[in-house]
Amino acid sequence: MSTIPTHTFPLFVVPFLIGLLFISVWLLFLFLKWIGELDRNGLVKFGQNILTKKTLRAIGEVFMESLLHRKLFRKNPLLGYMHMCFAFGWFMIILIGKLEVIAYSGKITARPYVAIFFKHFVSPEEKFVRSGMYSFLMDFFLLMILSGLFLAALKRFRSKTLGMTHTTRHNRIDRWTLAFLWLIFPARFLAESIASGSEGYSFLTGQTGRLLASFLPVQQMEIPFWWIYSIALFGFFILLPFSRYMHIPTEVAYIFLKNWGLDKRRVNRGFTNFEIYSCSRCGVCIDVCQLKTQAGIGTVQAVNFTRDIRSGSLCEEDLKNCLMCGRCNEACPVGIDITLQKQMYRGQFARFDKNEFTYLNTPTPAEQSTVVYFPGCMSSLSPGIEQSMVKIMEQAGEDFKVLGDEQRACCGRPMLLSGNTEAAQKLIAFNRDFILSSNAKMLVTSCPICYKMFRENYQLPIPVLHHSEYLLQLAETGKIEMEKQQLRMVYHDPCDLGRGSKIYDQPRQLLQQAGTLVPSNFERENALCCGGSLGNTKINQASKDKITKHLVEELSAPNPELLATACPVCKRTIARHSSIKVMDIAEVVAENIRKKTIQPNVKEEFESLLK
Amino acid sequence: MTNKQTQFPIAVIGSGPAGLAAANTLLALGHQPVIFEKEKITGGKLSRWHQLFPGFISAAEIQEQLIGPLKKASVKISTETEVKTMKPDSGGLEIETASGEKIIAKGAVWASGYTEFDARRKEEYGYGLYKNVLTSADVEEMLAKDGKLPFDSADVKRIGILHCVGSRDEKVGNTYCSKVCCICAVKQAIEMKKLYPSAEVFNFYMDLRLFGKGYEELYREAQMDWQVNFIRGRVSELAEDQQGKIRMKTEDTLTGVPMKMTLDFVILMVGMEGKRFSFLSENKNTDGSDFISYPENFTGENQTALPNVMVAGACKGPSTIVDAMNDGKSAALALHQYLISQAEK
Ligand SMILES: Cc1cc2nc3c(=O)[nH]c(=O)nc-3n(C[C@H](O)[C@H](O)[C@H](O)COP(=O)(O)OP(=O)(O)OC[C@H]3O[C@@H](n4cnc5c(N)ncnc54)[C@H](O)[C@@H]3O)c2cc1C
Ligand code: SF4
Ligand code: SF4
Ligand code: SF4
């Protein structure tokens, strides 16, 4: 065992130490402040779960996501590799560096800077237990980081190489932070190589050192390079909290909070901050946003939203110009729930008038029935859907009641999406009372917007079914049968049904009983928004049209005879631009339903004719 | 002299009011027109309408006046012959029909008219689904055929007439005004009062565009003599109740009061839509409509990309019958002048 000489305190470690101290204190202060802003429920969860295996799960997730960047890898392998090189490589260098010092000195309590500037203190000739292996690993991970750096530089100058059409622009602080970050490892590489001189540590620094020593006066260059390395670390640490790179420490904390079960659905500024600051500004959300790709609106994407909040420059216009389609939620490698965040922030701009909806206070008691069918305002605009549902339920012999427009109010989701929670609550209360007064066993709706709302915000004691689920049940229990046609169909996933409620299979299974489904380029999680979203109150018709036209092109590409969907808004929006017929699944079912031999309603009609 | 230049005739595409007026004018100028009509019957929309605004003159009568002289001169009208395309030819013009037949003509007047907006595209009004929702064109046809509508007079208490269906509506992609539906709605409101004297009639409009001679007077007559109610507001949706009656939701935008009303039947005033023919004009209309675009320069308004083809009538944009006929005459004259100028060369 050897000891590091205690008298050596090289001055160049000072910048590094100041930086380290600064960032530690700053992060501690900030995170504690945000935790203090959590609501009671959040704090309770925090206390309850900190000592459970949820913490272990969080550690696992930090490793997979923050270090290995698994999700980003799946979205974009090259970009994932680049991030992994930096994160995992750096982490390993810190870890192995620490172990190396322990192996060298036999003590765990070495001063923090020793591991960082190890090669200054220990010359290559000094051998200790597995010193060769440590040198090799340190060189290996250094090489890994440098390869990531190479890709990062490539991305900066040619983003298309990494499969991205749009990337984010850096502000001045970001640029400086990036410059320091990029400087750290080349400086370390050169400093170590020079320190190794003609002796050499391992394959990378050793070889380079030998090469440099052959023509340069390396002896005089070592200290200046350690200075550069230390200053680069200092600069990075000092600027990090004010730059986009703040996401690195925040995401780690965010993953822990998420695993401890903190509920985003509550207005919870403490948690929101962790989420917003976890955005790495990777820009993945730009390419998936149809407002950007189709309508050329480039100021409203998730990445702009998080930036605007961080810089305090969020404006109503941008906040409300969003389809709330959730494509960015699905794409974001950090897993930020952008639409929920936007919904919460929209509350700042919502005005609630107490006199609104006063007419709702006079509910008439509902008639009793087993199934309550709630067409929703949007299905009323597409009456074919409601008619088809009635036809099917009659044929199936169901005991049902359709809630007419006197007996229901809007489900409240448009209000909620616009941030007007109070107004939404009024509507919820009205509908909820009415639905419950019917003593129904199940609530069926043909509108994905209502469906999501009923499931998430109504706390109903009875099952809520989207009509695709309900019709599939009817088909599976033999209550209805369909005639399978020679019909080529493409199915379009509505945002609130697919990404919003994870209903992908039921409509497809149902359609397959009526014809043949052919795939389009945008299916399931990856489905496009139709552009008719109720969540966007700022978009103009021309932009909407661009989005819809592109969708219709994509859906029509496989040459189907029918475009099927499961949402009245999608249906109407698509139909406006489609030369191919557009139908709701209920209409498809109703059209192809096989007539049963005895139909109660036919009998009744016959009898009334005889009178 | 001009018609002896070549043995080829002059083609008229479309036998609506514009086409028929053009054929008559050509005949008067000494040409031999032949008419191509894609439908079984001649007359265009005229053959389907009942009584025409503003003077309630029978459409059949006007059609007879237009067709009579042509018959007398044994002008050939090829029905069920759709013209698909036209291109320049050494004889003047080569016309190709949908069945692939090729005809040579000296020149042509193109008067293909408009198509009515398909009211099913405005799904929220339930046309095609609710049996008590009709279009203005349905009403004309029913009245022309039987003089009545299929509703029992004793049952009908309230009738709704919705203006601007498929016009001035960004959502269906038609931003322009169809011009004739306001006055047609006034006319049909009066006709409804005549058929159902005890019923109330409500016209829901965005704003009333009553530009023609006698239109404003007819509107006043509808209010004063026939007690027709005019309400400003766009109807958001229609629903059918168990008895098949129509429940309607709107807002009176003059008073700001939301309205709900049950109606026995509803008439949708459908607008006009055009169709583009690339061989006539490549230009797009500024309003984004598909009507055939023409040089809007006062003096050359019948011209097309082909020098010996003139365009006329409602295929250029919404128009009344009188306007379509006058435009047909103007096109015939423009073609005549062109042929003379060519002959003099
Ligand atoms: C409900 C309603 C009521 C109306 N009532 C009145 C009224 O009372 N008074 C009034 O002044 N106006 C009225 N109008 C307006 C009137 O219908 C038009 O002004 C008129 O029809 C225009 O005449 P047109 O000849 O240009 O076109 P059209 O009447 O449309 O005739 C065009 C003809 O061309 C034929 N055609 C089209 N393409 C081809 C082709 N490629 N080859 C061969 N043939 C072809 C068509 O089949 C059609 O017969 C009404 C309109 C509507 C919708
Ligand atoms: S919101 Fe997500 S996808 Fe968008 S830049 Fe931030 S981390 Fe990337
Ligand atoms: S929710 Fe949709 S429209 Fe809004 S920013 Fe995300 S991808 Fe774009
Ligand atoms: S004429 Fe009247 S009803 Fe027709 S589109 Fe114009 S404003 Fe609407």
Check whether B209 has a pLDDT greater than 70.
Answer: yes
pLDDT in the model for residue B265 = 97
The per-residue pLDDT for range A12-42, each reduced to its tens digit, is: 999 999 999 999 999 999 998 888 887 777 7
Q: What percent of chain A clears pLDDT 90, i.e. is strictly above it?
A: 40
Check whether B5 has a pLDDT greater than 60.
Answer: no
Q: State whether the beta carbon of A281 lies less than 6 angstroms from ligand 2.
A: yes
The per-residue pLDDT for range B28-68, each reduced to its tens digit, is: 999 999 999 999 999 999 999 999 999 999 999 999 999 99
Is A604 domain-assigned?
no
- Decide: helix, strand or coil at residue A120: helix
pLDDT in the model for residue A167 = 64
Do A236 and A299 reside in the same domain of the chain? no
- A202: number of CA atoms within 13 Å, CB side? 18
Strands (DSSP E) along B234-300, which ranges?
A: 237-240, 246-252, 257-263, 265-270, 272-273
Is A435 domain-assigned?
yes
Q: State whether the beta carbon of B49 lies less than 6 angstroms from ligand 1.
A: yes
Could you tell me the pLDDT band of residue B206, with boundaries at 50, 70 and 90? very high
Between the CA of B232 and the centroid of ligand 1 the distance, in Å, is 28
Of the two residues A43 and A320, the one the predictor is more confident about is A320
Of the two residues A280 and A328, the one the predictor is more confident about is A328
Q: State whether the beta carbon of A79 lies less than 6 angstroms from ligand 2.
A: no
pLDDT in the model for residue A42 = 75
Domain boundaries, chain B: 3-114+274-343, 119-270
ipTM of the complex in this document: 0.74
pLDDT in the model for residue B2 = 42
On whether the CB atoms of residues A542 and A562 are closer than 8 A, the answer is no
Between the CA of A336 and the centroid of ligand 2 the distance, in Å, is 7
Q: State whether the beta carbon of A530 lies less than 6 angstroms from ligand 3.
A: no
On whether the CB atoms of residues B16 and B114 are closer than 8 A, the answer is no
* Ligand 2 atom 2, closest CA: A332
Crossing angle of helices A218-239 and A172-196, rounded to 10°? 150
Do A108 and A192 reside in the same domain of the chain? yes
The per-residue pLDDT for range A224-236, each reduced to its tens digit, is: 899 999 999 999 9
Do A296 and A225 reside in the same domain of the chain? no
Q: How far is B170 from chain A (nearest CA, A)?
A: 7
Q: Which residue of A has its CA nearest to B242?
A: A404
* B22 vs A172: CA distance, rounded Å: 72
Q: How far is A370 from chain B (nearest CA, A)?
A: 20
Residue type, A1: M
Is A533 domain-assigned?
yes
- Using the Cβ of B121 and the Cβ atoms of chain A, whether some distance falls under 8 Å is answered with yes
Provide the 8-state DSSP code for A110: -
Q: State whether the beta carbon of A329 lies less than 6 angstroms from ligand 2.
A: no
Q: What percent of chain B clears pLDDT 70, i.e. is strictly above it?
A: 98
On whether the CB atoms of residues B185 and B193 are closer than 8 A, the answer is no
**Across A6-10, B9-13, B95-99, B275-279, least confident range:** A6-10
Return phi, psi of residue B94, to 5°.
-105, 125
pLDDT in the model for residue B1 = 39
Contact B124 A541 (CB under 8 A): no
Which chain A residues have a beta carbon less than 8 Å from that of B170?
541
Which chain B residues have a beta carbon less than 8 Å from that of A545?
173
Do A232 and A83 reside in the same domain of the chain? yes
Is A350 domain-assigned?
no
pLDDT in the model for residue A610 = 54
Q: Which CATH number characterizes residue A382's domain?
A: 3.40.50.1860
pLDDT in the model for residue B32 = 92
Do A144 and A203 reside in the same domain of the chain? yes
Which chain B residues have a beta carbon less than 8 Å from that of A404?
239
Between the CA of B135 and the centroid of ligand 4 the distance, in Å, is 14
Do A528 and A495 reside in the same domain of the chain? yes
Q: Which CATH number characterizes residue A529's domain?
A: 3.40.50
pLDDT in the model for residue A596 = 61
In order of A377, A423, A457, A536, the CA distances from A353 in angstroms are: 22, 8, 21, 21
Q: State whether the beta carbon of A306 lies less than 6 angstroms from ligand 2.
A: yes
Tokens of A411: 């489900």
Could you tell me the pLDDT band of residue B3, with boundaries at 50, 70 and 90? very low
Residue type, A450: C
The per-residue pLDDT for range A256-265, each reduced to its tens digit, is: 888 887 766 6
Do A442 and A492 reside in the same domain of the chain? no
Chain A: residues touching B (Cβ < 8 Å): 380-384, 387, 404-405, 541, 545, 572, 575-576
Could you tell me the pLDDT band of residue B318, with boundaries at 50, 70 and 90? very high
A371-374 vs B92-97, strand pairing mode: unpaired
Could you tell me the pLDDT band of residue A346, with boundaries at 50, 70 and 90? confident
Is A363 domain-assigned?
no
Which of A372-386, A417-431, B59-73 ranks highest by mean pLDDT? Answer: B59-73
* A305 vs A316: CA distance, rounded Å: 11
- Please state which CATH number belongs to domain B119-270: 3.50.50.60
The per-residue pLDDT for range B71-130, each reduced to its tens digit, is: 999 999 999 999 999 999 988 999 999 999 999 999 999 999 999 999 999 999 999 999
Do A330 and A277 reside in the same domain of the chain? yes
Check whether A267 has a pLDDT greater than 60.
Answer: no
Q: Which residue of A has its CA nearest to B118?
A: A576
Concatenating the DSSP letter of every residue in A329-372 gives HHH-TT---HHHHHHHHHGGG----TTTTGGGG-PPPPPP-SEE
Is A606 domain-assigned?
no
Do A92 and A222 reside in the same domain of the chain? yes
Strands (DSSP E) along A525-575, which ranges?
A: 562-565
pLDDT in the model for residue B142 = 97
> What is the reported pTM?
0.79
pLDDT in the model for residue B4 = 42
Do A192 and A74 reside in the same domain of the chain? yes
Could you tell me the pLDDT band of residue A159, with boundaries at 50, 70 and 90? low
pLDDT in the model for residue A403 = 84
Could you tell me the pLDDT band of residue B215, with boundaries at 50, 70 and 90? very high
Between the CA of A502 and the centroid of ligand 3 the distance, in Å, is 17
Q: What percent of chain A clears pLDDT 70, i.e. is strictly above it?
A: 91
- Decide: helix, strand or coil at residue A482: strand
Query: Which range marks the domain in which residue A226 is found?
Result: 67-245
Atom of ligand 4 nearest to the CA of B205: 3
pLDDT in the model for residue A364 = 66
Tokens of A532: 């008719």
Contact B237 A576 (CB under 8 A): no
Domains B3-114+274-343 and B119-270 share a fold: yes
H-assigned helices in A197-301: 203-213, 218-239, 247-259, 269-277, 284-288, 290-293
Is A7 domain-assigned?
no
**Cis peptide before B54, with omega less than 30 degrees from 0?**
yes
Q: Which CATH number characterizes residue A319's domain?
A: 1.10.1060.10
- What is the domain count for chain A? 4
How far is C-alpha B226 from the chain's CA centre? 26
Contact A380 B239 (CB under 8 A): yes
In residues, how long is chain B? Answer: 345
What mean pLDDT, rounded, does chain A reach? Answer: 86
Check whether B304 has a pLDDT greater than 80.
Answer: yes
pLDDT in the model for residue A263 = 66
Q: Express the helix, strand and coil content of chain B in percent, nearest 5 each.
A: 30, 25, 40
Do A467 and A390 reside in the same domain of the chain? yes
pLDDT in the model for residue B196 = 96
A369-388 average pLDDT score = 89
pLDDT in the model for residue A283 = 83
Between the CA of A70 and the centroid of ligand 2 the distance, in Å, is 15
Q: State whether the beta carbon of B181 lies less than 6 angstroms from ligand 4.
A: yes
Of the two residues A597 and A209, the one the predictor is more confident about is A209
The per-residue pLDDT for range A537-581, each reduced to its tens digit, is: 889 888 999 999 999 999 999 999 999 999 999 999 999 899 999
Is A399 domain-assigned?
yes
In this structure, how many other beta carbons lie within 10 angstroms of the beta carbon of residue A349?
A: 15
**Across A403-412, A436-445, A488-497, A556-565, least confident range:** A403-412
Contact A381 B123 (CB under 8 A): yes
Which of A81-85, A358-362, A598-602 ranks highest by mean pLDDT? Answer: A81-85
CA gyration radius, chain B: 22
Give the count of Cβ contacts less than 8 A between chain A and B: 33
pLDDT in the model for residue B134 = 97
Domain boundary among A193, A215, A245: A245
Do A81 and A205 reside in the same domain of the chain? yes
Check whether A113 has a pLDDT greater than 90.
Answer: no
Q: CATH fold of B3-114+274-343, please? A: FAD/NAD(P)-binding domain (3.50.50)
Check whether A213 has a pLDDT greater than 90.
Answer: no
pLDDT in the model for residue A165 = 60
Q: State whether the beta carbon of A284 lies less than 6 angstroms from ligand 2.
A: yes
Between the CA of B71 and the centroid of ligand 2 the distance, in Å, is 75
The residues, ordered by sequence, that sit 6+ positions from B203 with a Cβ below 8 Å of its Cβ are B161, B163, B185, B186, B189, B228, B229, B230, B231
